[in-house]
Chains A and B, each alone.
Chain A
Amino acid sequence: MPTPIHNLTVADKTYRSRLLVGTGKYKNFQETRAAIDASGAEIVTVAIRRVNIGQNPGEPNLLDVLPTSEFTILPNTAGCYTADDAVRTLRLGRELLDGHPLCKLEVLGDSKTLFPNMPETLKAAEILVKDGFQVMVYCADDPIQAKILEDLGCVAVMPLASLIGSGMGIVNPWNLRLIIDSLKVPVLVDAGVGTASDAAIAMELGCDGVLMNTAIAHAKDPVLMASAMKKAVEAGREAFLAGRMARKYYSADPSSPTSGLIGS
C-alpha cells in the first residue's frame, strides 16, 4: 500500500504530518499545547537546559504537557557553538528520553546570525552517527555540505530558508531545489518561515517537510497560525505532487472557449 501523501518517513519511522514544530517562545504551556494540537505535528523539538537547583523542583515540566506517549520529542542543540557541546547536550537528551536516538543537531556560528558553523556541524554529526544517534541536522543551504551530511549518515538534512526566527521566508529557492534534487534522505526546511505561503513554497519546491517555531509562536494568534501552517504544508505537498502548469511568459491563454461566442 502506498504511503499516504502527507506522511513523512524519517529513519524508517512514519509520521502523519510533514510539519515539525518547536516548543519555544509561547506564553505558557497551555498555549504551547493548543498550538501544537492545531498544527497536527507529531514531531516536536525541545531544548535541553540546566535545572534551577533549589527552585521549585515540583513546577510543571514541558514533557508533562507533551508526553512521549503522544509525541516524538526531538531534543535540539540550540545555543551550542562547538561540536563538543552539541554532542554532550544530545547525550543528555537521549538519557532524558530513555535512549530515544532521534535528535536535531545544530551547531551555531555566531549569535547575530545563528548561521550554522558547518565544520563543527560535520564533526558533531560524525561523532553522533557513530554513537548510534539518528541525526536530523540543521545546515547551510549549500548543496555540497548537505550531501556530505547525508554521506556521513544523517537521517534528514534541514537547510535554513532564512535566518532562525527572522520570518524572512524562502530566500534562496534555487539552492533548496539543488539540495532536494541531490539527496536521498528527507530534506526539511528548518528556520526562516514567516507565514503560511512560505511553508507552501518550501513544500512546492519538493521539500519533505518543514520545521518551524517562531512563525507560529509569535503570530498574534498562534493557534490559528498553527492551523494555517498545517494546511499550507499539505497544500504545498499536494501542489508539488500534482505538478504545476508550465509558465507562459508574455502571452495569455484563455480559460473559456474561443468559439461559439454570441454575435459571431
Chain B
Amino acid sequence: MVESKAMEITINGESRQFPEPFTVAELVETLGYVGKRIAIERNGEIVPRSRHGAVELAAGDRLEIVVAVGGG
C-alpha cells in the first residue's frame, strides 16, 4: 500500500494536515463548503473560484477562507 504524504497548511490561523496532492476544490469539499458563498486567499493572493480545481496546495501554505457576515 502506498502511503500518501501528509502536508501541513494553515487555514484561518489554525494548523491542519492534508494528504498530498490536494487541490483547493478538494479542500472546499472536505470542509463542507461546496456551493457556499466563500472566498479563498492563498499566501496573500485570491484563488478565484474558477481556479479551485486547478490550484494544488503546498506544505506551509497559509489560507484565509471568508464569508459575509452582518456588519455596518
Contacts and interface: CB of A to CB of B under 8 A. Distances in A.
A48 interface: yes
Interface of A: 22-26, 32, 45-51, 53-54, 57-58, 61-63, 73, 75-76, 78, 88, 91-96, 164-165, 191, 211-214
B46 A92 contact: yes
Given A53-B31, A88-B41, A45 B66 contact: no
B33 A22 contact: no
Nearest to A92: B39
A51 B67 contact: yes
Contact of B66 (A23, A50, A212): A50
A214 B72 contact: yes
B71 A22 contact: yes
Chain B contact-residue range equals 20 to 34
B24 to A, nearest CB: 12
B65 interface: yes
A78 B16 CA distance: 28
Contact of B12 (A50, A58, A96): A50
Given A45-B72, A51-B65, A92-B66, 8 more contacts: A24-B70, A26-B70, A47-B69, A50-B67, A62-B68, A75-B68, A88-B41, A95-B48
B65 A50 contact: yes
30 contacts: A24-B71, A45-B71, A46-B68, A46-B69, A47-B71, A49-B66, A50-B12, A50-B13, A50-B67, A51-B12, A51-B33, A51-B65, A51-B67, A54-B31, A61-B36, A61-B68, A62-B70, A73-B68, A76-B71, A78-B71, A78-B72, A88-B44, A91-B46, A92-B64, A95-B39, A95-B46, A96-B38, A164-B72, A213-B72, A214-B72
A93 B68 CA distance: 8
Interface in B1-33: 11-14, 16, 31-33
B70 A23 contact: yes
Contacts of B37: 61, 63, 96
Given A57-B33, A58-B32, A96 B68 contact: yes
A77 B15 CA distance: 25
A207 B5 CA distance: 60
A91 B41 contact: yes
Max chain B Cβ within 10 angstroms of own Cβ: one of A45, A48, A76: A48
